[in-house]
Structure 1
Amino acid sequence: MAQSAMMMSTNLQHTGSRNMYYRLGLALLTTITLATFSWAHQGPDPLSHWYLQSKHIKDGQLESRLGPNGQLLMKPRYVADSGGDALIFEGRNAGCILAKDLKAAQPYLPKRELTISAWCSIDTRQSWGGILGFIQDNAEHEKGWVLGYDQETFYFALATTGVDDGDGKMTYFKATTKYELGKLYHVAAVFDGKTTELFVNGVKELSSEEQHGDIDYPESAVYSLGIYLDSNERYPHHGRIREVKVYDNAAQPEWVAQEFAHHRMLAQEDPNPQEPHFELLVAPYLQFATQTSMTVMWHTSATATSVVHYGETVDCSNSVELNPSRIHEVVLKDLSPNTQYFYQVESKTPGGKQYKSEPATFRTAVDSETPYAFAVISDTQGNPSVSGKIAQLAWEQRPSFVLHSGDLVSTGSDHNHWLEHFFPGMRPLINHVPFYPVLGNHEQNAEHYYNYVSLPAPEYFYTFTYGNCQFFMIDTNQKVGPGSEQYEWLKTSLAESNTKWKFVCHHHPPYSSDENDYGNLWKTNKGTHGDQRARQLVPLYEEYEVDIVWNGHIHSYERTWRIQKGKAVESNAPFYMITGGGGGGLETPAPTRPFFQNNVRRGHHYVMVHINGGTLELKSYSLTDRLFDQLQIKK
């Protein structure tokens, strides 16, 4: 372009008339040039523009310069910098909602080309950090986009129609700069319909043609700032976000460099990491009781040193100290059998932030001669309003512990289902008595399950003894047939057991009257009436005289007759009980009664089991605490 202008100047400078035409041509050429490259300098107005500073936030609302206003999810706090201040995102509830659905967000979402420009800092590393996004990334469902970061670098994730495999396909494009905690960075993502570019502090660090076409948006998502958010993941940002712009054009590298240079002094500031917001994520709860020990666990948002105070009075004169951690676990040892204790936990960060619980109580396990009672609950899932009421009703009966037959949460891989559904919904029960769970299918064998339980190895199957009973806990999501690890372990353990009562607990029921889980019995009379994998264990229960088999999975209540060799009998055979009414959506029995069915009921519920020597009394209660079934067994 410059050579063309020079040649034109040489040819036209000899005559005045031509000079005039030359000036007109040069002016036109300059206009065309500026129009072509204006994106490299001033650029068009963005679709959205937010200054995340104190003067732009009022009463919890982020006021936009352009685009939608945002609703803060946390109480605002600001960190000063050379240009004024910036909003700090901190705590489990951090984030800002810009639009709650696609309809509200659509006017502000780029359709094909886009540029996202953000000034931000990171104070806590995480695998799925979010700065700005409208995204669904669940298993095979991958749509939308998000500008974020992982444990080391910034990334931009994008799904487009050009690579859609039917339910979306997303690529995570990663920068190369390893960010420093507490330091402000300018990050920009650019997509022109065929090429994706990622810039850090004005420098292009990635260019890829892996995605192409229009942006492939999910039908359901939330437009959010300062959080990685989709239907089953919620990862709040910890750090500052100072300014964000979104364009429906693809910026030139020169514009990105200029955008960074305009506030270069921010990137030159010393790092100013903010200590993580210190809060209690999971309140103290109890695990695995014996006659002489009790396990106490809780979870804080930041690493902290901790101590458990305990004793036989509320003064809690004894104490045990723990090493720094976030998930805290301590075994209180050398306790007296069948004795009430008080306990109180205390956690403190290096920066001096502190949490101290209110005193709570527990009782150590009884000996084989002492009566006791336990509660049975299952399938609490994502319904803390129901599971919380059930936990309260069960606690009022003062059980010694809780047996949970699986599906503690709706999605085991979603940390927030544990933090927001299961643990809040099980209080005040589990801070006074331990719970003994098995894995349901909804736990997904996720790491969160193993982080939050303290059970004998390998934890997905185990046994424990309480009073004159032994419990055998099985994972029926895995192999349980003859020759499998669990089958052979269970066979040996049952043969060696010498307790008066034997109970087995696993999630999937060998016998069930459900209408459609094991064949749609409204359309055919062919069905298995129970889980075939779990039914492989039935011969062991019959051979080794198991008394009751506890199950969940079906969201209803069912108690069978005693069953022996595929027939209902009157004695010397196990009962099978489904107690799946802990909170999940309710299910309905089939239209006709199978041979094994004794009592079946659609409704949320819990069960209390009372044992005194050779007498067992079982009572089942509705959500209104009405007794609807009972059973007595004598040995």
Structure 2
Amino acid sequence: MYTTKQTFLLLLTFIIIYSCAENKKFVQYSDEVSETNNDSTIIIIGDTQQTSFWEFWRESNSDFTPVILKKIAEENPAMILHLGDVVFNGASTNHWNEFNEFAAPIFTKQIPIYPVLGNHEYFGDNEEALQNYFYHFPSASNRQWYYKIYKSICFIFLNSNFSEMTRNEIYDQNDWLDLTVSELNGNEKIEHIIFISHAPPFTNSKVVDDEIFVQNYFASVFNDSEKAVLFLSGHSHSYEHFIKENKHYLVSGGGGGPRHELETDSKRNDYHFDFFSGGPMRNLHYCKLIIHEHNLEIEMIQLEKETGEWSSGDCFYIP
């Protein structure tokens, strides 16, 4: 028999464990385009992870990420491309629950989300983190790299977390990419190829650097394909627009992670000329890709935190 004191301690322990336990409220986002959605519009967003409690000195945008996701739902796009870092800790149920609350308008409308793995998707226990990721996004088909064909566009989703991959996985992805792009180049139904990786090949961020492996493994294949016209990435919590070898590179990490200051000194050897002159600290935002008959339109939609006003920040066309 337990004494009164032992019973009390057992009960107290149970209460503490129960209160600290993460309550699963997982949802699965759609992987099918609905006929009720705007079939010519695709939304691009990256880095919706929130500032962690031990990053107390960094900017927190927890009040603004729900606003951004609600605005995206109002666009009623055919699909959403998420550029990675959906949550801060991929293994944390609470962090996924928080994202699900923020993204409720998207889930309610059954707007499909096609994601790419970010580095935060690996935070915590890798096995549990990846289980959370793939459960939420059946569109990824339990694959770390995959492609999605929509109309005449092929979106190629690539894993840039090389430190989390085995050597064989890196080789397999590279071989798959070479073969896939070669087949797409010969497919008359495909007019445009868009590459997507979380880590950017190029960035002026003062927090993260150019990813050399992305340059060597992905950008080299991208540059060699005439159909490849746009390279999307996040990781840098900002907006950047580069053109290299007549191809567009877009960094869009404005979904709510603490923003990064950009290097603006064009005299630095590692500076990349940015076609968007937005200053060193740029607004939270998402991007909209509109499929026209003869071209693609890409527009950056930015949120002014102080006023809550939305405006068009950048816009360009790809033939």
TM-score (norm 1): 0.41
2:193 and 2:238 mapped to 1: Cα distance?
24
Of residues 94, 106, 129, the one that matches 1:429 is: 106
Distance 1:595 1:339, change over 3 A: closer
Cα contact 2:252–2:286 (8 A) shared by 1: yes
Structure 2: distance between partners of 1:449 and 1:394: 21
* Partner Cα distance (1:456, 1:396) in 2: 24
Residues 72-125 of structure 1 deviation map (CA, whole Å, 9 limit, x = unaligned)? xxxxxxxxxxxxxxxxxxxxxxxxxxxxxxxxxxxxxxxxxxx885354xxxxx
What secondary structure does 2:138 align onto?
A: coil
Q: CA deviation at 1:398?
A: 2.4
Q: Percent of counterpart pairs with the same letter?
A: 24
Equivalent position SS for 1:281: coil
Larger Rg: 1
| 1:588 to 2:261 alignment | yes
Evaluate the alpha carbon distance shift between residue 227 and residue 614 of structure 1 in structure 2; reply closer, same or farther with a 3 A threshold.
Answer: same
In 2, distance between residues paired with 1:461 and 1:590?
A: 31
Q: Please, which of 71, 75, 88 is the counterpart of residue 410 of structure 1?
A: 88
TM-fit CA distance, 1:480: 10
* Cα distance in 1 for residues equivalent to 2:26 and 2:145: 24
Letter in 2 for 1:625: W
Residue 9 (structure 2) pairs with residue 118 (structure 1): yes
Amino acid corresponding to residue 25 of structure 2 in structure 1: L
CA contact (8 A) 1:556 1:600 kept: no
- Contact preservation (8 Å) 1:374, 1:399: yes
What one-letter code is carried by the residue in structure 1 that aligns with 2:256?
A: G
Alignment of 1:214-229 (within 5 A): 225-227=16-18, 229=20
Deviation at 1:457, TM superposition (A): 4.1
1:543 equivalent among 224, 245, 248: 224
Alignment correspondent of 2:312:
627
Amino acid at match of 1:552: G
Q: Contact 2:134–2:140 at 8 Å: present in 1 too?
A: no
- 1:590 deviation in Å? 0.9
Q: Look up the match of 2:69.
A: 391
Q: Report the equivalent of 1:603.
A: 283
CA contact (8 A) 1:384 1:425 kept: no
Partner of 1:200: none
Q: Provide the C-alpha distance between the structure 2 equivalents of 1:481 and 1:575, rounded to a whole number of angstroms.
A: 29
Give the aligned residue type for 1:513.
Answer: N
| Greater Cα shift, 402-411 or 533-542 | 533-542
Aligned partners of 2:250, 2:84: CA distance in 1, in Å?
14
Question: Does structure 2 retain, via aligned residues, the 8 Å contact 1:404–1:435?
Answer: yes
Runs of 4+ residues deviating >4 angstroms:
479-483
Larger strand proportion of the pair = 1
Match of 1:560 in 2: 242
SS of residue matched to 2:173: helix
**TM-score, structure 2 normalization:** 0.79
Any gaps of 5 or more consecutive residues in structure 2?
Answer: 51-60, 304-308
Equivalent residue for 2:31, pick from 267, 288, 291? 288
- Does residue 488 of the first structure (1) align with residue 166 of the second (2)? no
The size of the alignment, in residue pairs, is 279
Residue number in structure 2 paired with 1:570: none
What displacement does 1:456 show? 5.0
Higher relative contact order (Cα pairs below 8 Å, separated by 6+ residues): 2
The structure where helix makes up a greater share of residues is 2
Residue 494 of structure 1: CA displacement? Answer: 0.9
One-letter amino acid of the counterpart of residue 532, structure 1: I
CA distance in 1, matches of 2:200, 2:260: 14
Of 535-544 and 429-438, the range deviating more from structure 2: 429-438
Which runs of 5 or more structure 1 residues have no equivalent in the other structure? 1-41, 50-114, 121-130, 133-147, 149-223, 237-279, 291-337, 341-361, 367-371, 519-529, 565-572
RMSD after superposition: 2.7
**Superposed CA offset, 1:206-238 (max 9, x none):** xxxxxxxxxxxxxxxxxx735353xxxx436xx
Instruction: Label 1:505 to 1:116 Cα distance change in 2 as closer, same or farther (>3 A).
Output: farther
